[in-house]
Structure 1
């Protein structure tokens, strides 16, 4: 078996492509897929609605969810046609060693970036943030005042050691099914409470009028639309976990069904929180909407709801963290030690990688204050490659001769849309940085 195919075994000791140790249910896969999708992306969806407007944002969410479903179907079909059980493996079969290395690099960039984003958001919730000079206190600071033990560095360190570390030591994805179910429930709680707060504000006449279409005042405003698209792409990028989750199941059709259910669920959650979040905060909405929930609502119940909203989603991210850490750790191990023994059977290597990833994410989360730039960068590069460019390229390459005319057309459209929007987004970001520096 090639090194690219070996990740399967390092993730799932004792399993094989034909005889998994235990076949998870479709519902368990739905929870794991949904948890992989509904990570930090939900935090920036309201900010993208501010940029795009309600109608274009809804269309964009639906289109990207549909394309993500097609790309997963490509990945599963071509992987089952070959002799591998991993994303890197199917790229190796289509494009050689270069293909597998590209996947590994993109997974490492995307997952590492997402894990850092999660810690940044958890830090925002617990210990606050100070974007552009405005002070937003964290839950711990509002409850107990500002002390050394509820500073960002200490609160995140405590979270890493006592919450995240016990979760990232599992060696099977299926072992996380219960924490994934809880995380999806917490995401629904977050959306539900946010919706109730927005409806209450709407009845009291305190909501902001939603912008149905974008405001195109100038050329810069037009190009800003393309910087919002990568944020939605990143929000739907879970392709690094398609193989670990899908190959624990008996039939490929079960994984496809789980993905489609998850896509509908996640698209509904994204649009709901985006719309109601924008109704609540309007143009004052932050790149991380949780920061907005520190405001004084004027009532005890309102303050309690604000705290529940923030804490429920911070806990949700803590439960999502191990799923992304799972595939990140496996890809780093495969990249650095392609010919070593199985990762699950080498405790020294397993613990070294685990602790190194946690330490790096912690230091980065302390040093970096803003998540918007992370989303734009990943959505324009590694995330769009994993979600659309690589699956489309696999279908066009058609190493096993199973592509239909429809497959090739969809793959070509997927790649062209991904490359065009990403190129414009990257160019727009560079232009904004240059003009911002000049000003």
Structure 2
């Protein structure tokens, strides 16, 4: 019995009748199951045809399929010809490797970076430095696994390869994980708005605030959160096309660099009363180590953007994407280490979930950092709401059986939400994070919970789990071990860290995280 992989229009890819076939790029094959063990393959199509193939879902059954040899050939023969079909699949304008590097670094170095010093406090100084490097390496590996998974499955998005390997159940789980990650991010952004904008306003209008009880109330934390979300972020979230907001978020990386620089410069000059200490086991290992790992995971997870970054490269090859991934992870790790090490060494056991909250409210330089951070959150908040809304859109489609395949970017081809659905969903997912942020300024707990749950699913569980299912045929347990270790680590992190975070939040273990 043989399995033929056909193009999307249903016609077999005939090697003899293909005038554009390049012999050295032949990698897709007709597989004879009787001769499989003898490695007898009949090439059927070139790599350039690879992403237009429709794979048989039966090939992804529990017994697995030997796609790994195919993939290795694909990597070794991958063309860099910009005029090839592979390079022309995406119709949007392509960017340079430099642009892809900035996009990926910007995706990694986001709001979570201000929680890295708190992660070091939870793990211990030397454990924090070591685990930051280890998690960066794992992050780099799983980012590259995502692109391998899309090539093996014949899909083009994260959701598509999960759907191809684990069906509708897997698709629903990954959609919920992506939705919760974006929702948790929006809660964190609302908390940051409350931790930053009020102090900038009170600093600018200090005399007026001192003389007016009304201004004193209006410029306090909760009224500012309500005003910013209701009259700025929420109206921006209601738009269906947020491409212009995506451009505005390009300032995020610059804002992060400003924040890191200011903290490094101003940190050593804070008064002794605001400094903390590091004693004994705090230098080496702490019992809250899993919570620290969750914060780092939240900060470094950008896996849901990986396929879009890959498709944005002018010549999208695995080698070029790997180079972008390596460099982005290295730079992001350096930036996280700079802020984490400096922040924890200065504030020690007094380190808060948002390192900026450790500084006084009347510090002009820190208020510049707060302003940059808060403004960035105002424009980034609608992007997270957009992601959550798209998740609802796909879940509604699955409920109505509009789409179960998920081979491509399904959201674009699905029926749009009605005006009523759009308004109700946007309103709920915009104001619910706002309400949550009114009751807490513990950014660390938000980052821990989101990183432990959805971050683990997106970064540590699905990429290796799907790759293992598609390549496990004929592989020894030793070769599969790294994949399974990563999956087990993801589940352990999810359970242990979530439990610790919820327990600590209920008992108030780490004290007040607000600006004093």
When the two structures are superposed, what TM-score results if normalisation uses the length of structure 1?
A: 0.79
Determine the structure 2 residue equivalent to 1:370: 442
1:73 is the counterpart of 2:149: no
Equivalent residue for 1:197, pick from 260, 263, 266: 266
Choose which of 336, 340, 358 in structure 2 pairs with 1:292: 358
Distance apart, 1:334 and its partner CA = 0.9
Deviation, structure 1 residue 99: 0.7
* Bigger relative contact order (CA 8 A; separation at least 6): 1
Q: Which residue of 2 aligns with 1:162?
A: 232
Map 1:92-131 to 2 at 5 A.
92-127=163-198
Q: CA deviation at 1:46?
A: 0.8
Q: Which has the larger radius of gyration?
A: 2
8 A Cα contact 1:28 1:177, kept in partner:
no
Which residues of structure 2 form unaligned runs of 5+? 1-7, 9-86, 210-214, 404-411, 510-516
Map 1:404-415 onto structure 2 (within 5 A). 408-415=480-487
Structure 1 equivalent of residue 254 of structure 2: 185
Distance change (3 Å), C-alpha of 1:152 and 1:435: closer
Aligned match of 2:305 in 218, 225, 241? Answer: 241
Q: What is the aligned partner in structure 2 of residue 134 from structure 1?
A: none
- Answer whether contact 1:88 1:101 (CA < 8 A) is retained: no
Conserved 8 A contact 1:20-1:249: no
Could you tell me how far apart the structure 1 residues matched to 2:364 and 2:357 are?
15
Q: Judging by fraction of residues, say which structure has more helix.
A: 1
- Higher mean Cα deviation, 395-404 or 33-42? 395-404
Report how far residue 187 of structure 1 moved. 0.4
Q: In 2, are the aligned partners of 1:50 and 1:278 still within 8 Å (CA)?
A: yes
Instruction: Say whether the 8 Å CA contact 2:145–2:463 is kept in structure 1.
Output: yes
Question: Following TM superposition, by how much is the alpha carbon of 1:359 offset from its aligned partner in structure 2, in angstroms?
Answer: 2.8
- Confirm whether residue 150 of structure 1 aligns to residue 214 of structure 2: no
Q: What is the match of residue 13 of structure 1?
A: none
Residue 22 and residue 294 in structure 1: after superposition, are their counterparts in 2 closer, same or farther (change >3 A)? same
Worse-superposed segment, 340-349 or 276-285: 340-349
More displaced stretch, 184-193 vs 163-172: 163-172
The aligned residue for residue 333 of structure 1 is: 393
> 3-state SS of the aligned residue for 1:394?
helix
Following superposition, the deviation at residue 17 of structure 1 comes to 8.4
Distance in structure 2 (CA, Å) of the matches to 1:106 and 1:361: 17
Q: In the aligned structure 2, how far is the partner of 1:259 from the partner of 1:246?
A: 10
Cα shift at 1:23: 1.4
Which string of whole-angstrom CA distances, capped at 9 and with x for unpartnered residues, describes residues 210-269 of structure 1?
5696368xxxx8532222211111111111222333334351434433332221221111
1:124–1:407 Cα change, 3 Å: farther
Distance 1:435 1:149 in 2: 31
Q: How high is the TM-score relative to the length of structure 2?
A: 0.68
Q: 1:178 to 1:350 in 2, by over 3 A?
A: same
Partner of 1:306: 366
Give the Cα separation in 1 of the matches to 2:257 and 2:372: 9
Contact conserved, 2:278 with 2:349, CA < 8 A, in 1? Answer: no
Shift of 1:147: 3.0
Indicate if the aligned counterparts of 2:183 and 2:433 stay in contact, CA closer than 8 A.
Answer: yes
Alignment check: 8 A CA contact 2:260 2:339 kept: yes
Moved more, 333-342 or 182-191: 333-342
Instruction: Pick closer, same or farther for the CA change 1:81–1:350 going to 2, 3 Å.
Output: farther
Match of 2:342 in 1: 276
- The alpha carbon displacement at 1:80 in A equals 2.3
**Are the structure 2 counterparts of residues 279 and 310 from structure 1 closer, same or farther at C-alpha, using a change threshold of 3 Å?**
farther
- The residue that corresponds to 2:103 in the other structure is 32
Count matched residues.
401
Deviation track 1:124-162 (CA, whole Å, cap 9, x = no partner) reads: 1123xxxxxxxxxx2223433253432434423443333
| Cross-structure match for 1:229 | 293
Q: Tell me the SS of whatever aligns to 1:84.
A: coil
Separation of aligned partners in 2, 1:404 and 1:244: 33
1:49 aligns to 2:120 (yes or no): yes
Q: Is the contact between residue 183 and residue 319 of structure 1 (CA under 8 Å) also seen in structure 2?
A: no
Shift in Å at residue 166 of structure 1?
3.8
* Distance in 1 (alpha carbons) for counterparts of 2:323 and 2:436: 37
Alignment of 1:12-27 (within 5 A): 18-27=89-98
| Stretch of structure 1 that moved more, 410-419 or 185-194 | 410-419
Distance change >3 Å, CA 35–CA 376, structure 1 → 2:
same
- The CA deviation at 1:194 is 0.9
Supply the distance in 1 between the matched residues of 2:432 and 2:355 (Cα, whole angstroms): 25
Where in structure 2 are the equivalents of 1:314-353 lying within 5 Å? Answer: 314-338=374-398, 339=402, 342=413, 348=419, 353=425
Shift of 1:433: 6.8
Number of the residue aligned with 1:418? 490
Q: Give the counterpart of 1:387 among 444, 456, 459.
A: 459
Q: Does the 8 A contact of 1:72 with 1:239 survive in 2?
A: yes
**Distance in structure 2 (CA, Å) of the matches to 1:158 and 1:287:** 24
